[in-house]
Amino acid sequence: MNQESFNPFSMAQLQFDHVADILDLDKAVRDLLRNPMREYAFNIPVRMDDGSVNIFRGFRVQHNDARGPCKGGIRFHPLETMDTVRALSMWMTWKCAVVDIPLGGGKGGVIADPHNLSAREQEQLCRGWVRQLARNIGPISDIPAPDVMTSAQHMLWMLDEYEAIHGGKMPGFITGKPVGMGGSLGRTEATGFGVIYTVREALKQLSIRPEDTVASVQGFGNVAQYAIRLYTQIGGTVICVSCWNQNDQTSYSFRKKEGIDLDALLDITDRFGEIDKAKAKELGYEILPGEAWIEQEVDIPLPAALENQISAETVVNINPRVRAIVEAANGPTTPDADKVIAERNIFLIPDFLANAGGVTCSYFEQVQSNMNYYWEKDEVLGKLDVKMTSAFIAVSELAQKRNLHMRDAAYVIAVGRVAQACRDRGWV
């Protein structure tokens, strides 16, 4: 995959243009929704442990807030770009709209690799990010959350800095916080579980029993881990997972044809989702190239890593057995690969529907934090199941009614809701 020539924001705009034609949106609405409303780019000076000062580049993009405050995660990634953040903020707008929660889309990031930073340096980076944006984000305007290589601890440092600047307790400023410090029970599981709630509904529609299905998963971070757990609980079998190896600067797939043992793999996995190759081999796993996950003889390939993973080059490697693709990652499938998937009549659950469990539960956390009243875990996951199931059914019914692919149906619902909110406010 040629990451250098891939522009996620161009892809997000192409997807939007396609659905704008379906909805026959006028020029003003297209111009408003095709680009973010506000963008921030800034430097974050951090004094390192050796006494030197490093300057990190940070971003925050607020795509649209017609339906409510912006919402979206913060990534720490060495290859972060403004265009990646722009694309993710746009996808967040559609994600919030498709599950019908009163939020808009935002996203943030820092060009940094936490693997190479001490805990103190990461704390200073978090506090520096907040200092640059303290006047432009907050519980009634833009609520951040964790994303790739950020954690509950990062969110707590950010909250502490925000509260110190503004002089008050404002737990609703940020979500993904530790439970006990304003975080919500069920938030850790939410994205992965939400993915499988949609899988369950899709299999019902396809008249396939979960216990008759096999899956392969790209990625082994939080989303993948909880998706695997719930998928196996409903009867499915995962035979292959892939993850990035920091030492080798490459990815590997770990396969066990009779099914992986999630808990055994977690015992040999670090906090970044990196599986120990040597220990995995001792446990009987085949070590394959990173791209091997997509070639497996499975019913469900489940990308749960980064953008641009199912492209024109890789889609041809999808096994003929595949019945459904479930996009747990953001933007994993390029438009040209989408066409091939549609031609092969593979059922696809698009990213901003499949992985909306995270932002839905973040919304629940925000509500709980703002009213200082917290729900039990079963209540949180029950509300999440209802939201995800309702959204899936609405998209599926529209797809069948108008003979649309699932991605197009999801976009029609999401973009339609946002466009109407912009009209109702008199913006266009």
Task: Quote the number of domains for the chain.
Answer: 2
Q: Distance (Å, rounded) from C-alpha 154 to C-alpha 145?
A: 9
pLDDT digits (tens, 9 = 90+) for 297-314: 999 999 998 888 999 999
Q: Is-contact 225 215, C-beta < 8 A?
A: no
pLDDT of residue 2: 43
Q: Is 281 a catalytic residue?
A: no
Q: Is there a single domain that holds both residue 163 and residue 259?
A: no
pLDDT digits (tens, 9 = 90+) for 122-164: 999 999 999 999 999 999 999 999 998 999 999 999 999 999 9
- Amino acid residing at 126: C
Q: Is-contact 63 106, C-beta < 8 A?
A: yes
Residue 378 domain-assigned (yes or no)? no
Neighbours of 192 (CB within 10 A): 24
Residue 423 domain-assigned (yes or no)? no
Q: Is there a single domain that holds both residue 216 and residue 104?
A: no
CATH number of the domain bearing residue 120: 3.40.50.10860
Q: Is there a single domain that holds both residue 92 and residue 214?
A: no
Catalytic, out of 71, 95, 107, 387: 107
Q: Distance (Å, rounded) from C-alpha 69 to C-alpha 137?
A: 9
Q: Is there a single domain that holds both residue 237 and residue 210?
A: yes
CATH number of the domain bearing residue 309: 3.40.50.720
Q: Of 144, 159, 185, which closes a domain?
A: 185
Domain that holds residue 128: 39-185
pLDDT digits (tens, 9 = 90+) for 56-73: 999 999 999 999 999 999
What confidence tier does 4 reach under pLDDT thresholds 50, 70, 90? low
pLDDT digits (tens, 9 = 90+) for 268-301: 999 888 999 999 999 999 999 999 999 999 999 9
pLDDT digits (tens, 9 = 90+) for 73-108: 999 999 999 999 999 999 999 999 999 999 999 999
Strands 237-245 vs 214-218: parallel, antiparallel or unpaired: parallel
Q: Is-contact 118 152, C-beta < 8 A?
A: no
The string of DSSP letters for 56-89 reads EEEEEEEEE-TTSSEEEEEEEETT--HHHHHHHH
Q: Among 240, 305, 286, 229, which residue's Cα sits nearest to residue 262?
A: 229
Q: Is there a single domain that holds both residue 161 and residue 79?
A: yes
Burial call 80-114: b when 16+ CB within 10 Å, e when fewer: bbbbbbbbbbbbbbbbbbbbebebbbbbbbbbbeb
* 3-state secondary structure (DSSP) of residue 246: coil
